[in-house]
Amino acid sequence: MGDPFDEGYPADGETPVHQVQVSPFSIDVTAVSNEQFAAFVDETGYRTESEVYGTSAVFHMAVQSSPADVLGTAAGTPWWLNVRGADWAHPMGPLSSWQDIPDHPVTQVSHTDALAYCEWAGRALPTEAQWEFAARGGLEQSRYPWGNDLHGVQANGELEHRCNIWQGTFPTENTVEDGFLTTAPARFFSPNGYGLFQTSGNVWEWCADWFLPKYYKSCLALGTVADPVGPTIGRGRVMRGGSYLCHDSYCNRYRLAARSSNSPESASGNCGFRTVSAP
């Protein structure tokens, strides 16, 4: 695990590279879709935290609401708007609907919401180690699920986009060269060597672990680590994979080694999850 290129953010704790052993497990080939999450809600009546709070975070270029429902910006990140009526069923605001994008990853779900889905499904959130092992698809220490180069080259000489991230000047201009301003279908672009789709870009994915930047250093001190479950404390829960908003000028975290975090109750229009077999 970790960043062999030494190009990550020091505060994220992507180094040192260390050896990890994981026991066999199964993992979803895609992030949980809107349609799958709707089945959970229909059967259980579950209300997500965004529904309870009444608002959630939507990227400023994607808002679908009346101006009166935009309640302000997030501190330090003015491209995120706090929108009344934004939730998993209305991911871009009250004028949007999950039914228009049933095969896209569910978003506007908190870590707590993801755990509730897992309990219903008899599954679990992946540990950070499980996620990285599966996301690499059998490639050792590569930058992306397909290798080290972000783009391929098509027969006509044009760039081949392999993941859903930002193109242009963040956060004001997206040229949409990959075809998507926000989420893409969960099963899109080519899968990795294990058959998993979009472990780079599209939506962040919640992991089970607490986030503590110095955790990798403690792992290295122990040598090979078997089935690590992360630290017992942290400043948030781990998120992996990056999202459609990632760009090397702002958030170069669509690399396989990249790590980030958010508070467990937080939700946004670019974070979802996939599940693994329950322990």
List, in order, residues 6 or more apart from 159 with CB less than 8 Å away.
151, 152, 153, 177
User: Is the model's pLDDT at 262 over the cut of 90?
Assistant: yes
Q: Where are the domains of the chain?
A: 10-46+103-277
Confidence label for 16 from pLDDT (cuts 50, 70 and 90): very high
Q: What is the mean pLDDT of residues 31-49?
A: 98
pLDDT tens-digit map of 42-72: 999 999 999 999 999 999 999 999 999 999 9
What distance in Å separates the CA atoms of residue 59 and residue 171, rounded to the nearest whole number? 9
Token pair of 274, please? 């996939």
Closest CA to 37 of 130, 131, 107, 127: 107
**Tokens 């290798």 sit on residue:** 147
Determine whether 61 is exposed, middle or buried from the number of CB atoms within 10 Å of its CB (0-12, 13-18, 19+).
middle
- The pTM (predicted TM-score) of the whole model is 0.97
| Fold that domain 10-46+103-277 belongs to in CATH | paralog of FGE (formylglycine-generating enzyme) (3.90.1580)
Confidence label for 157 from pLDDT (cuts 50, 70 and 90): confident
pLDDT tens-digit map of 187-239: 999 999 999 999 999 999 999 999 999 999 988 888 889 999 999 999 899 99
Planar angle of CA 270, 233, 48, nearest 5 degrees: 35
Q: How far are the Cα atoms of 131, 141, 146, 216 from residue 162, in angstroms, in the given order?
A: 19, 18, 8, 29
What distance in Å separates the CA atoms of residue 210 and residue 235, rounded to the nearest whole number? 7
Q: How far are the Cα atoms of 32, 81, 95, 168 from residue 37, in angstroms, in the given order?
A: 7, 24, 19, 32
Encoded amino acid at 69, one letter: D
Helix H or strand E segment including 121: helix 111-121
Token pair of 103, please? 């095969």
